Chains A and B, each alone.
Chain A
């Protein structure tokens, strides 16, 4: 079916989008002029919005205009609290890549050793079991206290949260390399190092890439929360700052950008994973 009508799915997507925007438009229109607002809520969102002159909830057109504003000048810098969304996203991406890269540098070699040696696996397993379920944000105060730098602390939190999926997947991938392939290398008297790089690494690569893909997904989830906590720069900080400014249009724009970058990161890793996948 999808073969015969390749345009059907995209068409439906566009329809859903139109429906969504239509409902959104209706909902925000109704609110206009509706003056009956809870007192506490009025206090929270500010007098101007509550007085009903203009709804705090932006219409699709408002958000569209905001998006266009962001896209036409993403990299301006007018002081700490007024930077282009491109700069903010750049900071977040840089932190994620740094934390993720450092985690990969630790997790892949360590996972290799754990996967190859049942002894090391048994020795390290209790640590992994206890450390893995800790929310990465729980490390934040400790990181701030020890590192004393909010930017590096955020990178550390990303490091911690990307570490486990890569470590566990690498170890699993290495441990489950087919016995036959290792025996081939043994009967051909291939050195241990060459076996590691030419047999075990390519054999485990798809599993390792799966771990990396999970890691970068989690890292991108965590960075927003981490930046809300540490402040300064980054898309998480931007969202929090716009909440304080009560610019819902900006918050919605940021949410869309966060989703977009997250998808790009995932797609990139998926493409890398496909490059190392083999068919048996």
Chain B
């Protein structure tokens, strides 16, 4: 198999311990890949290091070990090739919504005229449904609108890859649903490659092609990679009619509740961090070898996760 579009190899992050104490290893031995046009979500408990990984992918933070290769080149420092939607929207409060988007567009295409920049930025703000509020300052926008401006700003520079850190975490359920639908439509139309952090299992199933499960820190790892085996044209309104949805959902919840802490305390002995297992919950294809779950204590009755092959990272 050819190397994926984005490749994370042996990533580790350690913080120097306080005097007399040993270093704090947040995570190590992180291996995974994302294909071009793929939407990957990462889920894990708070503090396991998701933001740190995203910041390393963005080039904003440096790993203690390992490397990230995107499109054949090692990631060193931030780049316009990777657009970032920040958790706290991070709009510049003294600029209008339009000027916030233009700020990035001007940097991406320095040779463009003011009209070109304006037209391009307007297009992306209209795409997220903010054509009417372009001249408003962030303080005059609702939380959902602010997050939309942040998404428009990231999309407008037409990056090779989009990185989103819990973009909808601070929004109410209704607004979140609307923006999820918008994001889904945009991503399906543009075939954007996306890496996104979320705490919301349903959100991950709706948006992602695959979901990267991270175990608890310290010494967090990629526990497994779950393939979302729902049709790509899924929607929030109909998704839950598919029985497959519940199998995936149960598998994810079970991981978060029961198994995510087994990796740090050594219960998952047969886990190979270099090739985290690729799992398709509920689908037992012929010839699949069925290995015991890492925890090996109790198999949840409702889900029947089956490993069919190892992810070739």
Contact = CB atoms under 8 A, between A and B. Distances in A.
Interface string B71-104: 0000001111011101010101110000000011
B90 A184 contact: yes
A198 to B, nearest CB: 7
Contacts of B79: 187, 189
Contacts of B92: 181, 184, 199, 202-203
B93 A279 contact: yes
Interface residues of B, number: 24
Given A278-B137, A278-B139, A188 B107 contact: yes
Interface residues of A, number: 19
B107 A189 contact: yes
A186 to B, nearest CB: 4
Contacts of B93: 278-280
Interface in B53-69: 58-60
B60 A183 contact: yes
Contact of A188 (B77, B94, B157): B157
Nearest to A194: B107
Contact of B103 (A178, A183, A198, A278): A198
A39 interface: no
A273 to B, nearest CB: 13
A184 B94 contact: no
B108 interface: yes
A190 interface: yes
A181 B90 contact: yes
Contact of B83 (A180, A187, A194): A187
A178 B87 CA distance: 13
A198 B95 CA distance: 10
B90 A202 contact: no
A187 B85 CA distance: 10
Nearest to A190: B107
Contacts of A183: 60, 78, 84, 86, 90
Among B78, B82, B86, B137, residue most surrounded by chain A Cβ atoms (within 10 Å) = B78
A188 B103 contact: yes
25 contacts: A178-B90, A180-B88, A181-B92, A183-B78, A184-B90, A184-B92, A186-B59, A186-B60, A187-B58, A187-B78, A187-B83, A187-B84, A188-B103, A188-B104, A188-B107, A188-B157, A189-B80, A190-B107, A194-B107, A203-B92, A203-B94, A276-B94, A278-B93, A278-B94, A280-B138
